[in-house]
Structure 1
Amino acid sequence: MTIYAIGDIHGFSAQLDRALDLVERDGGRDARIVFMGDYTDRGPDSRGVLDRLIGGLADGRNWVAIKGNHDRMFERFLTQGVENDDRIKSGLSWMNQRLGGPRTLGSYGLGGEDAAFLHSANGGIETLMSYEVDDTILDREELVMQARATVPQAHVQFLAQRPLWHREDGLLFVHAGIRPGIPLDRQDEDDLLWIREGWLEDTRDHGALVVHGHTALEFPEHYGNRINTDGGAGYGRDLVPVAIDEDGVFTLHPEGRAPLTAP
């Protein structure tokens, strides 16, 4: 059986539609797809991306959608009013354009890319001072309340219910990666969503071929013990699906499959 992985989408619904079309051409409408997380932020249509995924799962599509760090940031803002994450060493707020929170809220009709006014204090931690929605200036608490009233509950539930990993047919799907040498049931959630250091340079066999995203590349890469599916769609590049089966690992393109081989 072929299993398809679609890396970080980051609010680019047109790229998601393109990727789904490529998968369907290769494997049919019932193709098994694992979505690697980071459905929101940076792109213009996070709402549309979530609508497509929620609708597909409700229709019984053969899909698995795991959680990414950006999905958790959006969820925490909605449910807890939290805009910072301890794993962001720069101290940037989720409301910073670089992380993409304003574009996500903008896809729900709440302001947009230039709506946030931020201030850095408390050792460089960036915080939201005000946010403009329809010529009205809101503080953070007011914005959280308006976001809770605007974002569909189905979207909040979808974000909250995403699994942190999925294991199938000798493959381990996880958003960022794993802490090498730690059993899966003892992995830290923050590592599964954020890890780079201590993971990307590790060449050992992890007991399964690990399929992940999170670290944006120019194009998906096969490293032998892991496959990085994040080809940088969040930065304007194409969202390239990866197909894995008994014949090998391939990327999908309008002209068909292309082998993705380890060095």
Structure 2
Amino acid sequence: MRTYAIGDIHGQLALLQAAHARIAADQAAHGPGPVVHIGDLVDRGPDSPGVIEHLMQGIARGEDWVVLKGNHDRMFAGYLRDLAWHDPRLRVDASYLHPKIGGVQTLASYGVKNAGDRPLAPVHGEAVAAVPRAHRDFLETLPTSFARGAVFYAHAGIRPGVPLERQTEDDLCWIRDGFLEDRRDHGPLIVHGHTHLAAVTHYGNRLNLDSGAAYGGPLSAVVIEGRTAFLLTDQGRQLLPVTPNAPIR
């Protein structure tokens, strides 16, 4: 059972298109398989609307793509829904327009300039007017997990010890503490992003795909067969070794 997966995108359309090209080359050589996008489509990068539009168009033309909700996608959708909304997993002194979140860059990519330096209400009104309803609906309806074969996909990870069918959206989109350091087998291999590393890392019980595209790193694509994973490069497949004692972040 072959499944492809792509890490946190963060508005990097060119990197996403390159990742899809590497997947297409592998599919031509080895056969088809669905492509799971692990979430965080938006924020920090230069072209969040281009990323959303690219994914929407691919799904519309019949591509076998799954797009999961990341915490940044949830924050963006919530911000557009209600200026007063605050993600319960975001620290109380931060907001979607906090410099570390990257929402200012997302709004700029939709044409809303200098969002971090102007009064909140006018900026919000401009953002609601600028973001197409189709993009908002797409973000609002993204699933938070996907299971296939021996693998479970979620943006941030899972709450260990909680059955997969009872995982909460808060944890699936945001969890770090309690998950990253847990070395136990979770049943299926957990494939996630959310916590950026220098390179994709296979810990045995989980596989972290976030290689820091939001910070100038690569956007990684992998193919998973059973619990074995290969990084896709321009030269082909590269086996990802299992390194259970690798640094967790």
User: What's the TM-score once normalised by structure 1's chain length?
Assistant: 0.87
| Aligned-residue offset at 1:39 | 0.2
Residue of structure 2 in register with 1:55 after alignment:
57
Aligned-residue offset at 1:79: 0.7
Q: Which has the larger radius of gyration?
A: 1
CA contact (8 A) 1:221 1:229 kept: yes
Q: Which residue of 2 aligns with 1:125?
A: none
Give 2:109's match in structure 1, choosing from 107, 129, 154: 107
Corresponding position: 1:98 with 2:95: no
Name 1:188's counterpart in structure 2: 168
Aligned pairs for 1:73-92 within 5 A? 73-82=75-84, 84-89=86-91, 91-92=93-94
- TM alignment of 1:115-194, pairs within 5 A: 115-117=115-117, 131=118, 139-194=119-174
1:30-83 residue CA offsets vs partner (Å, 9 max, x unmatched): 541000000000000001000100111111100100100000000001011146
Q: Quick one: which amino acid aligns to residue 50 of structure 2? A: G
The amino acid of 1:145's aligned partner reads: G
SS in 1 for 2:186: coil
Alignment deviations for residues 193-214 of structure 1 (CA, whole Å, 9 cap, x no partner): 1100000010111111110000
Q: How far apart, in 1, do the equivalents of 2:33 and 2:54 lie? A: 16
8 Å Cα contact 2:185-2:205 kept in structure 1: yes
Q: 1:213 pairs with 178, 193, 203, which one? A: 193
Does the 8 A contact of 2:10 with 2:44 survive in 1? yes
Letter paired with 2:55: L
Unaligned 5+ residue runs, structure 2?
A: 244-249
How far 1:247 moved relative to its partner?
8.5
Runs of 4+ displaced beyond 4 Å: none
**Equivalence for 1:127:** none
3-state secondary structure, aligned to 1:177: coil
Distance in 2 between residues matched to 1:83 and 1:6, nearest whole Å: 29
State whether structure 2 residue 203 is matched by structure 1 residue 231: no
Secondary structure at the aligned position of 2:176 is classed as coil
Query: How much identity, in percent, do the aligned residues show?
Result: 46
More helix by share: 2
Alignment of 1:251 with 2:231, yes or no, is yes
**8 A Cα contact 1:84 1:91, kept in partner:** no
CA–CA distance in structure 2, aligned partners of residues 222 and 90 of structure 1: 33
Q: Does structure 2 conserve the Cα–Cα contact (< 8 Å) formed by 1:30 and 1:62? A: no
Note the C-alpha offset of 1:140.
Answer: 1.8
Q: Does 1:202 align with 2:202?
A: no
Q: State the match for 2:71 in structure 1.
A: 69
Report how far residue 182 of structure 1 moved.
0.6
Q: Is the 8 A contact 2:9 2:16 kept in 1?
A: yes
SS in 2 for 1:244: strand
Matched, 1:23 2:23: yes
Unmatched segments (≥5 aa) in structure 1: 118-130, 132-138
CA distance in 2, matches of 1:89, 1:192: 17
The structure whose residues are more often strand, as a share, is 1
Q: Helix, strand or coil for the counterpart of 1:116?
A: helix
CA drift at 1:85: 2.8
| Deviation for aligned residue 1:88 | 2.6
Asked if the contact 1:42–1:97 (Cα under 8 Å) also holds between the matched residues in 2, the reply is no
Q: Distance in 2 between matches of 1:251 and 1:194?
A: 24
